[in-house]
Structures are given as C-alpha cells and as structure tokens.
Amino acid sequence: MKGLSAISILSKIEPLLLRVQKPSQYIGGETGSIVKDREKVRVSFAFCFPDTYEIGMSHLGMKILYGLINQREEFCCERVFAPDTDFEELMREQNIPLYALESLTPVADFDMIGFTLQYELAYTNILNMLDLAGIPIYAKDRGESLDKMIFAGGPCVCNPEPIADFFDFFILGEGEEVNLEVMDLYAQMKEKGASRSEFLCEAAKIEGIYVPSLYYVSYNENGTIKTVQPLENVPKIVRKRIIKDFDKVYYPDTFVVPFTEIVHDRSVVEVLRGCIRGCRFCQAGFIYRPFREKSPDTICSQAADLCRNTGYEELSLSSLSTSDHSEIDEMLTKLLEVTEEKRVSMSLPSLRVDNFSDALMEKIKRIRKSGLTFAPEAGTQRLRDVINKNVSDEEIMNTAEIAFSGGYFNVKLYFMMGLPTETDDDIAGIADIADRIIELFFKNPDRPRGKMVQVSVSIATFVPKPFTPFEFEPQATEEEVRHKQEHLVSSINPRNARRIKVSWHEFRISQLEGVLARGDRKLSDVIYEAWKNGSRFDSWSDRFKWECWEAAFEKCGIAPEFYASRRRDYDEIMPGDHLNYMVDKSFLIREHKKALRAETTQHCRKNCSGCGVNREVGRSCF
Amino acid sequence: MKTTVRMKFTKKGRAKYISHLDLMRCFQRCIRRAELPIAYSEGFHPHMQIVFAAALSLGFESDYEVIELGLSEALSFDEVQSRMQAVLPDGIDVISCYEPKHKMGQIAYAEYDIILPCQDSEKLLLQWNEFISQEKIIVEKKTKRGFREMDLKELTECLSEETRENALVLKLRLPAGSTVNVNPALLVEEFRKNEQVLFDFPKYCRKKLLCNEKTEFF
Ligand code: SF4
C-alpha cells in the first residue's frame, strides 16, 4: 500500500466519495487549511485524531497545535481522522492507505505521526488507523529507521501504560512548547542520519517526553506492579510540561472551517486553564493544574480575530469553569460588545451553579434561551461533600428559580452513580432534586406561560481516574449499578414521573473506560485482540461490542475486574507513578481520607491546600 | 441604499464535494469574512439575503454557479468580486459580478461537459451514437409520489461528441427548470446499463445555465 502519491490517492478516492456519508470530510480543502510543499519542509507531521472528522474537528487542542506548527516555515502539520465504517470498508477493499487531508499524502510517508488521546475508549481506533496506514502496530516492529515516529499527547497520557507497546514516545502535559522542541530535535537528527533508538534516547532528555520502551516494568505475583526501572540514562520520573505565561501563549487567529457540520462548529477562545475547585472525581481538575487565566483584553482580541477570520456566526469560551475567571464580569461585558457588533451569538457552557449572580444571569439571559444545564453530580449534600462538589441544595434551587423566572423551562441535570461511600439514600436524593425542581416551577409566579417544565436527568457511572483522590477506589460492579438504577426509578415521585426523563450510560462501556484508565502494560495485548475482533468506536454505544472485549480479556487471561473493581492500597505502585503531574501522591491520599470523612476542601483561591503544584512550578498559584 | 448583485463562480476540484446545504453555510461564513454589507431579513431570526440559482448535484464540477447577494449599501462589482475571491475556498473562484437581468425562475436549461474515461473511445462513441439514436429512452424518475416515466431522448440535446485518447467527451443540453429537470447522470447511467459499454468513473461539469429561449442566464 506504500508509495502511493497524492495524485493517485485522489484518483482512487474520487469514485468512492459519492458512495459514502458526508464526502467532504475525506477530501480537505476547507478554508483555513494549510497546504505546504512537502518537498520544502524539514519535518512533516501528521496530526491524528482517533475519532471521526466531526468529533476531531471540534477539538480545540488540535486547532492550537495545527496553527502553532504550521507557523514554522520548516514544518508542516496535516490532519488525519478515523474514517467512518462505510469509508473504511471501501478503503480496505480498494487498498487505499490512510492519508492526510491537506496534501492527500499517505500517513506512512510522514516523519512524525502524533495522536491526541482525549478519551480511553478511542484506543482501538488508534490501532485501526495505524493498520489502515500500513504501519506496524507494535512499536517494537517498526525497525530502526527514523520515519513514521508514532507518539501521543493529551489527558490520557497521564496513564499511557495500556497503550505503551504501540507508541514510540508520549508527550506529557501542555504541548505548545514541547511539540516544537521535539520537532526541532527530530529535524537535526534526521539530517544527521540518526537511527530511531538514537533519536528516542535524545528525546527522552527533553522534559515532558516519556519513551516507554526505555522503562522496564516488573510485576508481583498478585499482578500488581513491583518496579518500574529506567533502562538507559533517562529520568526516573518524567514530569509534565506546563505553559508558565498563559496570557502570552500562542493562540490561533483562525481555524480550519469545515464544510460539513461538526459537533462544535464555532469559534472558541480558551479563557483559562486548570481549575481551582478540586472536585475529587474530576481528573481534569488535577492534571491541568495550576490555574491560569487570560486577561479580558487578550480574550477579546483573540475572539475578534477569530470571528473575523473564520466567519463563524457563533463564539464559545473554553475552560473547565468559566465563571471562575477572576474578571468574569468585565470579560463578558467586553465580549458581548464584540459579538454584538459582529452579529455573532455567544454560547456559554460550563457555568457553575454556585456562581450565578443575578447580574451575570441578566447578561446571559440576553443571549441564551432554550435550556439550562447543571451538574450537581450527587443527590445529597453528604455525598457532594465526599466528592468535594461544593454546591449546596439551596444553590441548586436558587439557580433553578432564577432560570425559571428568566424564561427557561428545560433543565438538564448531570449526576454520577457509583461514587465512593454512596448509599441508597444518595440515589433517592437524585429523584428528590428533580422532583423539587418541578415543584419550584409550578410555584414560580414568573414561570414561562404555556410551557411545560421538563427535567432531564443524565446519569454517568463513576469511573475512578488516575491522579485523582479516588484513584484508590473500586468502580461499582454491574450488580451494584443495576440495583442503583432500579432504586432511582422507584424513588421518582409518580406524580411528576412524566416530566422527568432519566438516561444512563451503558455499564460495560464505563467499565471498560475504568479498566483502561487505571490499567498497566499487560492491557496492550488485550486492546490489540479486541481490535482484531472488530472493536472500534467503543465510545459510541451503537458501535460498542462487549463480545469483542470479553473474548480479548479471556484470550489474554486477564480479568477486567482486577483493574476496575479492585480497591488499591495507598502504597501500591500505580501504573503512572513514574509520571509526575505535579500533584503529590500524599495530597491525593490526604484528600481521599477527607472524602471518606465527608470533609470538604476549599478551593485554591480561598485557601491553598498544598497539592504540590506551586512547589513544582516554583511560584505560588495566586 | 439596497442593491442586489449576482455573482458567477466556479465549483471545481475538491469543492465539488461540498453539498448544496454546506455550500450555503460556507458562503454565509465567507461573506462574514469578506465583511460585505450583506442585508438581513426582518424578523426574530434574521438571515442573510442570499439566493442560489439551480442547485448542483454533489460531485459535479461547474463553471456556471450563480448566487445573488442582497446588500444593504452599494458596493462596486469589482469590490464585491475581489473581497469574495480573497476568502473563498480552493476551487470556488469568482468569474464575474453583475446586475441581475433575468428572474431566477427563468432558468430552463443547463449545458454539461461529460467525460467518460475509457480504453477505446472510438468504440464508446459508436455505442453512444447507437444509444442516443434510439427512438425513445425511457427511464423511471423518482418523484415525491412514487415513480414517473420519462423519455430522456426527447429531452436531451447533444451538442457535440469528441473522442480523446482515453476518454469520450460529450456536450449535452438538458432541462434544468423548476418543472422539468434532468440530471445528466441519469442518462449516463442508462447508457452504462448495456454490459458492452465500458467506461470509468464519469466526470461532469456544468458549463452554462440558459433561459427558456436558450439564451444565457444572467
Ligand atoms: S498549590 Fe495550592 S493553590 Fe496551587 S493548585 Fe495546588 S492546592 Fe491549588
């Protein structure tokens, strides 16, 4: 399959494109896409998103790195997505290798091939993409030549062990600086004619680069990890990278604007990174520390550039919690001036319940009408204290009240099930919240007339993640989850049952996520087998096939429960313990103990709880 | 002062895979990027005043696409053309801007170049001539209410045939109005139904839009 040129890819795919859904996703040419003469660049980089175009194109990290790398004249960055099953079938039938969208060059002809790992359930897609590209799936089979260097970054890299066998290296933490450093190194070593292992040994010296083949993992008889030993002269512990001056960091002034509709089809400005809250279940809240924000002026000028250069009619803000921006009022006021002048509508996700002031609500009301979303996450105050989701009952009701007075009538609530220490009372509490919100609607004299209130309750199964205080906790088993679901349904007040819509995630998908999140290197073979059995797009419930995974676990002699539903001791070596995400293990243990006592921890701006990030960064966070 | 400008443009190369609906959205964004003083409709959800003439099938190229832009203030044709040209995606190029002459509803015909890649173009030409000189070419056309029979023979005007080394190139004129509309692919696929007829993936390009009197649509 190798050696096909761009022209021949084009002539091979043209007859196929009209036979597949949304053909424009496979042909590139969008405005904002950057096509360079590949003969003239020193390093070519294929940026792979292991999901479909409509999902991958919505991802902000890809837009940032795409712009950043292409800014450098001597590098080119092209985009690659997982083909949907209809096109994959035709590609395999016609021997068309996976190709990049800008120049329609086969992925196998790139120097560096980078994946972004946003969720564990995309792992089989990575294998499938490597296979479609004609690249050996296991890193050990790739020989000594320097080309086709396979690496990954993104949040899942905080525990990359389950996929360690497939990658040449990983990038830990924020990519804006380290991606360019590693490409510079690659350019030098390519021109020197270095071998693959020479390059990897050098790359491992860059802070934030983890080369898994240079670390040897041994296991205890009970299957837990005994040691992780560096084989060469590489750091024992690899530390993640962060951007110190977040206000000045590169941000693209335009995006690739797709022809076909994608999930988030709009301009996005990143307003802050990290989170001050410390919700104990939330991995993002720990691995993205410390908290940093952009000034309102920077945000506004980036928003104005993007609106002008993309032509998008909608702007949204990206962050873990926008309302924690220290100058939220000034920022929103200025932004609304920009967007109104440009006839751009603004959408505001992830605003926290406890931060909704009347004044802010007034501003938001002007721009948003259809519904309101909150995430109380747990049904009782006690359990919310356990998970450190500092939202009180009163605040939830208050927000609903303001929302109803403001003309909203659809409320969407997000909860988790299977949280540590959870009892049936906590589950019944979910039904109770939904019920009280409905009562509140009817009591509200200013409620929208002629509209019927609708509460959607969306329930995720809690998945313990590494680098959180709950990394020691077992995940709820199938029986436990089934019991909780039944208990919830029977707890709903029959009088309001038809105004409450409950939905949950499929148990097996959450369990698999749990296995992969805290898994070790023994899982690489399981993932390989599952892919061979036909697994891909595992996060899509209509494509997920548990049978493929079940057979794979069986063949490899591995029980998923070992990873998902086992309680870990504090002194057990976790698969990612040789990776430093700047948050101390002792802090996680402290937080875990507090959780079990249902004690809350104040947010970072109120009180530093000493997680260790400030020491690692070498300055205080606020 | 409100004015209306028509813009003729191409849709070629990768752009031919942009669906009609996506093209609409693409133009809306390009108009914003070009910062044209576009007029908006009245009402609660104002939308841009833009209208496309005669939708093009997905996968077809075109040298003759037309969009009409309602502007809220006058702007020279040159200015509209250069501002739009600067922001349009590859494959979509502005050919000209001008004042509307005909009503959109006057469009009645379209002319196409059809390239049929093949090994033996002389043989294919003979087969084509045989095919097109039949008395009737009856096909079923899907309509909103089931199927309807249609005689392509009486609706097709062959303007020219040309054999090239590895292709047969046909120039056809077909109805493209709101009442009668024939997609050239229908004819080509009918031709291909004969097992002896062998050609590769056909390429279509719309060359012209015409009014009832077969004069060019402006
Ligand atoms: S060092 Fe303190 S303020 Fe900084 S992130 Fe950790 S807990 Fe929060």
HEC profile of chain B: CCEEEEEEEEECHHHHHCCHHHHHHHHHHHHHHCCCCECECCCCCCCECEEECCCCCCCCEEEEEEEEEEECCCCCHHHHHHHHHCCCCCCCCEEEEECCCCCHHHEEEEEEEEEEECCCHHHHHHHHHHHHCCCCCEEEEECCCCEEEEEHHHHCEEEEEEEECCEEEEEEEEEECCCCECCHHHHHHHHHCCCCCCCCCCEEEEEEEEECCCCECC
Mean pLDDT, range A24-38, rounded to an integer: 95
Q: Report CA-CA distances (Å) from A144 to A141, A204, A352, B1.
A: 9, 17, 51, 69
In degrees and rounded to multiples of 5, residue A278 shows phi and psi of 70, 35
Of A394-408, A565-579, B26-40, the poorest mean pLDDT is in A394-408
Q: Report pLDDT for B205.
A: 97
- The pLDDT of residue A456 is 94
The span from the CA of A76 to the CA of A38, in Å, is 7
Q: How confident is the model at residue A351 (pLDDT cuts 50, 70, 90)?
A: low
Residue B20 has pLDDT above 80, yes or no: yes
Residue B51 to chain A, least CA–CA distance (Å): 18
Range B142-150 average pLDDT: 82
Q: Of B10, B11, B12, B14, which to mutate for an interface test with A (greatest number of A Cβ within 10 Å)?
A: B14
Measured in angstroms, the CA of B105 and the nearest CA of chain A are apart by 28
Quote the ligand 1 centre to A309 CA distance (angstroms): 37
Please give the Cα distance from A423 to A405 (Å, whole number).
34
Give chain B's mean pLDDT. Answer: 93
Tell me which of A228-242, A369-383, B20-34, B106-120 is least confident: A369-383
What's the pTM? 0.94
Closest approach atom of ligand 1 to CA A613? 1
Contacts of B179 (CB under 8 A, 6+ apart): none
Kindly report the number of other CB atoms within 10 A of residue A193's CB atom: 8
Q: Which pLDDT score is estimated for A408? A: 80
Q: With 80 as the cut, is the pLDDT of residue A5 above it?
A: no
State mean pLDDT over B19-35.
95
Domain-wise residue ranges, chain A:
6-234, 368-505, 585-617
The dihedral built from the CA positions of residue A57, B37, B2 and A314, taken in this order, carries a sign that is: positive
pLDDT band at A323 (very low <50, low <70, confident <90, very high): confident
Q: Is the pLDDT of residue A96 over 80?
A: yes
User: pLDDT-based confidence at A356, cuts 50/70/90?
Assistant: low
CA distance B49 to B39: 6
> Ligand 1 centroid to A290 CA: how many Å?
7
In sequence order, what are the beta bridge partners of A417? A461
CA A197, CA A143: separation in Å to the nearest integer?
Answer: 9
Q: Does domain A6-234 have CATH number 3.40.50.280?
A: yes
Q: What is the pLDDT of residue A321?
A: 86
Asked if A548 and A534 touch (Cβ cutoff 8 Å), the reply is: yes
In this prediction, residues A181-207 reach a mean pLDDT of 97
Between 3.40.50.10320, 3.90.1150.10, 3.30.750.200, 3.20.20.100, what CATH number should domain A368-505 receive?
3.30.750.200
As a whole number of angstroms, the distance between CA A385 and CA A220 comes to: 36
- In this predicted structure, the answer to whether residue A361 has a pLDDT above a threshold of 70 is no
Residue A4 has a pLDDT of 66
Q: How confident is the model at residue A2 (pLDDT cuts 50, 70, 90)?
A: very low
Mean pLDDT of chain A: 93
Query: What is the Cα gyration radius of chain A?
Result: 25
Q: Is the CB of A6 under 6 A from ligand 1?
A: no
pLDDT digits (tens, 9 = 90+) for A121-170: 999 999 999 999 999 999 999 999 999 999 999 999 999 999 999 999 99
Q: Mind listing the pLDDT tens digit for each residue in A430-466?
A: 999 999 999 998 888 878 777 888 999 999 999 999 9
Q: Which residues of A touch B41 (CB under 8 A)?
A: none
The domains of chain B, with CATH numbers, are 3-100 (3.30.70.580), 105-211 (3.30.70.60)
- A267 — contact with chain B (CB < 8 Å)? no
Q: Is the CB of A311 less than 8 angstroms away from the CB of B13?
A: no
Q: Indicate the pLDDT class of residue A357, thresholds 50, 70 and 90.
A: low
Do B30 and A311 touch, CB atoms closer than 8 A?
yes
How big is the CA angle at B101 (ends B99 and B105), to the nearest 5 degrees?
A: 125
Q: Which residue has the higher pLDDT, A469 or A400?
A: A469
pLDDT tier for residue A353 given thresholds of 50, 70 and 90? very low
Percent of chain A at pLDDT above 70? 96
